[in-house]
Amino acid sequence: MFRVSFLFIILGFACISCKSEDKKYTDTSKSNIDALLEARYEKFLDYNLDSLAFARSYSWGEKAIHKRPSKDWTSGFFAGNFWQIYMLTGKEVFKERAKLWTAFIEKEKLNSGTHDMGFKVFCSFGNGLKVEDNQEYKDIIVKSAQTLSTRYNPHIGSIRSWDFNRDKWQFPVIIDNMMNLELLFEATKISGDSTFHNIAVNHANTTLKNHFREDHSTWHVLDYDTISGQVRARVTHQGISDDSAWARGQAWAINGFTSVYRYTKDKKYLNRAIKTANFFINHSTLPEDGIPYWDFSHPNIPDISRDVSAATIVASALVELYQYTQNEAYLNYSKKVVQSLKTNTYILPKTLKIPFILDHSFGDWSKRAEMDEPIVYGDYYFLQTLLRLRDLNK
Ligand code: GLY
C-alpha cells in the first residue's frame, strides 16, 4: 500500500513538472518562441564533432539520429546551419563549430561521382564566405565547380544528375539539380572563368525548355538520349507518380530559377520562378498554414504527411522573389510559413537533445525513408528564411 501511494506521489510530481514544461512550450508569445529557438540552437553545440557523422535526420521510430559522412548530399546543410545560427545570434561559438564542420567537407571538391556539389560545398563554404573573406574557401568553390563541370554534356546542354539506374536511364537530370547552379555562378565571379557561368546558363535553358508542364509544375526526372540529345522519358523518382507534382521538386524549381535570375537578370528565368511559385502558393490542396502535403497530386490528401522542407525552401526563395517583383503575395507566404513553423506543432521541444529545430519534413517516398521527421534541410532553409526576412527589414 505504501509503495502504491508513494508511486502516485512521484507520478503526481512528474506530471506537474511536465505540465509546466508544456505550458511554457504552448506559450506562443514572441519572447517565449525566441527562447525556444535559442534552446534548440544550443542543442547543436551538444552534438559531437565527427567527420563521419553529419546529422541528417531523426528517426522517431528508432529514437536515433541518422548520421552521414561528408559525401552524403546533405552534409553541407549541417555545416551551413552552424554558419546561419552564427549569423542570426552573433555567438562566436557557432562560428567556430561551423568552421570545423565545414573543413570536413573540403575533400568533396574532388568527388565527381555526384551532382550534389552545390548542396555540399556551397551551403557550407558559401555561407562561410558570407561571414568572412577567405581565399581558401574561394579556391575550394572554384575547384568544386571544375569537378562538377565534368558532369556537363554539351550535346544535351545539361549536368548529369545520377549515376545509378544505368539500365533504366541514359542521362538523368532531376529538377533538384537547379540548386547546383549558384555554385557555378559564384565560381565564375571568383575566378573570372566564364565556363562555369555558361554551363549554368545552358543547364537552366535546357531545364526551362523541357522540365515544365503546361500548368507550370515540374516533372522530377528527365532522361535524355545521349546520341540525339532529346528527352527519352519524363518520370518521377520521389513523387507519388510520374505525372504528379512532388512538393519538394516544385520548391527546388522555384528556388533554383530565382537564383538564376539573381545572377543573369534575364526575365525568362524570373517568369519561370513566378509561374511555378504561383502554382505552389495558390494550389487548391495547400493547407491554410502554408505547409504543403509532400506531393500536390497525391490521391490520399489530406491523409498524408506534410513536407516542412518544401515550405521552407519556397519561403526562402519567395523573400528574394518579392524583392524582384514587389508582389506582396510572395512575402506574405514567407511570413506565414515562419509564423506557422514557430509553433509547437513544428518546433521540437526544448528537452529533446538532438541538433534539429523543426519536425515534419518528408524525405524520400522511393526509399520509404525519413517520412515525417526532423530533417537537416528543412532547418537549413528555415534559418535562411529568417536571415532573409531580417535583412529585408534592415
Ligand atoms: N535530391 C534532393 C531531394 O531529395 O530533395
Per residue in 107-154, pLDDT (tens digit) is 999 999 999 999 999 999 999 999 999 999 999 999 999 999 999 999
Tell me how far the alpha carbon of residue 248 lies from the centroid of ligand 1, in angstroms: 7
Q: Identify the weakest region by mean pLDDT among 14-18, 54-58, 153-157.
A: 14-18
Q: Return the ligand 1 atom nearest residue 363 CA.
A: 4
Residue 393: per-residue pLDDT: 80
Per residue in 296-305, pLDDT (tens digit) is 999 999 999 9
Q: Ligand 1: which of 160, 248, 376 to mutate, most ligand atoms within 8 Å of CB?
A: 248
Residue 304 covered by a domain: yes
What is the pLDDT averaged over residues 274-300?
A: 98
Residue 329 covered by a domain: yes
Domain encompassing residue 283: 1-46+265-394
176 CB less than 6 Å from ligand 1? yes
> In whole angstroms, how far apart are CA 228 and each of 151, 156, 203, 211?
18, 8, 17, 17
Percent of the chain surpassing pLDDT 70: 93
The span from the CA of 181 to the CA of 350, in Å, is: 37
Please answer whether residues 194 and 145 qualify as being in contact, where contact means their C-beta atoms are separated by less than 8 angstroms. no
3-state secondary structure 292-337: CECECCCCCCCCCCECHHHHHHHHHHHHHHHHHHCCHHHHHHHHHH
Per residue in 199-252, pLDDT (tens digit) is 999 999 999 999 999 999 999 999 999 999 999 999 999 999 999 999 999 999
- The cell 489530406 sits on which residue? 302
Please answer whether residues 219 and 175 qualify as being in contact, where contact means their C-beta atoms are separated by less than 8 angstroms. yes
Count of other CB atoms within 10 angstroms of residue 392: 13
Residue 325 covered by a domain: yes
Residue 28: per-residue pLDDT: 64
Tell me how far the alpha carbon of residue 364 lies from the centroid of ligand 1, in angstroms: 8
Residue 11 covered by a domain: yes
Q: Number of folded domains in the chain?
A: 1
Which of 116, 295, 307, 359 is catalytic? The answer is: 116
Per residue in 8-17, pLDDT (tens digit) is 444 444 433 3
Q: Whose CA is nearest to atom 3 of ligand 1?
A: 176
Residue 255 has pLDDT above 60, yes or no: yes
Residue 55 covered by a domain: no
Residue 27: per-residue pLDDT: 60
CB burial readout 165-188, b (16+ within 10 A) else e: eeeebebbbbbbbbbbbbbbbbbb
Residue 393 covered by a domain: yes
**Catalytic site includes residue 289:** no
Per residue in 76-111, pLDDT (tens digit) is 999 999 999 999 999 999 999 999 999 999 999 999
Q: Return the ligand 1 atom nearest residue 238 CA.
A: 4
Residue 333 covered by a domain: yes
Percent of the chain surpassing pLDDT 90: 91
Which of 72, 133, 139, 176 is catalytic? The answer is: 176
248 CB less than 6 Å from ligand 1? yes
Give the CATH number, domain containing residue 283: 1.50.10.10
Residue 351 covered by a domain: yes
Residue 44 has pLDDT above 90, yes or no: yes
Residue 1: per-residue pLDDT: 34
